Amino acid sequence: MEIDLELQENMNFLYSHDVEFMTIEVPEERRGGKPYYLWGDQYVNVEELAKKLFESNGYSVISGVELRKAYNYIGYCREFELEEYIETLSGPTQFGKLIHGNKVQELKILRKKIKALKQEVLTRDKLNRELIALGIQLHKEIREALPLNLEREYAVFEFIKTRKDEEILSLIKFFDKITALFKGTPDFYISKGDEFAFIEVKSDNDSLSKWQNCFIHFFREIVGNNIMVLNIVNDKW
């Protein structure tokens, strides 16, 4: 099945603002009340189907939440667990604070560098790739200091490094603006060549939450129309 990102419809009559979406009809079966869709010779859930669909069309597909976490290290917007990670290094006891005290100070200095360089990037409206390197360094330091499984986030950094400056800069601007919006990140971020987009996946009778609506609204306002809803429905309807 081929994906055409230009094949979009206006869903303004359903939502509070314009939402670009694609509808795909796929054979469905219900398991425990949840929809599963046919891919090849097996039934998969709606997110797995969407991922396989885009990958089969030559797109790189990564988790939208993991991408946002990676950009949080790059731009240090104090989202997710970053601040908690750094504070955890102090340890629950005075002994723990003595052990990790130097590490905490090092991370706070690194965090300060990232915030300053991000502000410089935003002011000049030009990406400095040292910002990505510093974000990766912060991630590495936390990953080595705490027993956390952050390997998938590291893979996202490697993905970001392959993207063009204009795309990275636009996402830094976006995530800097929506620091207070903790929910609503779309399921996937896809890319192929110069193309990139956030994709929110919905099955039959599913709809966007208010947080997802907000994310889409601000993304379109700050970055552009590179965001859409993929609506997967039963082909028997």
pLDDT digits (tens, 9 = 90+) for 15-71: 445 667 788 899 999 888 888 999 999 999 999 999 999 999 999 999 998 998 888
Q: How confident is the model at residue 237 (pLDDT cuts 50, 70, 90)?
A: low
Question: In this predicted structure, what is the pLDDT of residue 11?
Answer: 40
> Looking at residue 224, what DSSP letter applies?
-
Across the chain, which distance is largest between two alpha carbons, in Å? 64
Highest average pLDDT, of 67-81, 89-103, 214-228, comes from 214-228
> Which residue has 């429905």 as its token pair?
233
* Global confidence as pTM: 0.82
Number of other CB atoms surrounding residue 234 within 10 Å: 15
Query: Please, is 214 exposed, middle or buried when counting C-beta atoms within 10 Å of its C-beta (0-12, 13-18, 19+)?
Result: middle
Q: Mean pLDDT throughout 178-187?
A: 80
The alpha carbon of 227 is separated from its chain's Cα centroid by a whole number of angstroms, namely 12
What is the tens place of the pLDDT at every residue in 95-114? 445 445 677 778 888 888 99
Question: In this predicted structure, what is the pLDDT of residue 8?
Answer: 41
Question: In this predicted structure, what is the pLDDT of residue 63?
Answer: 94
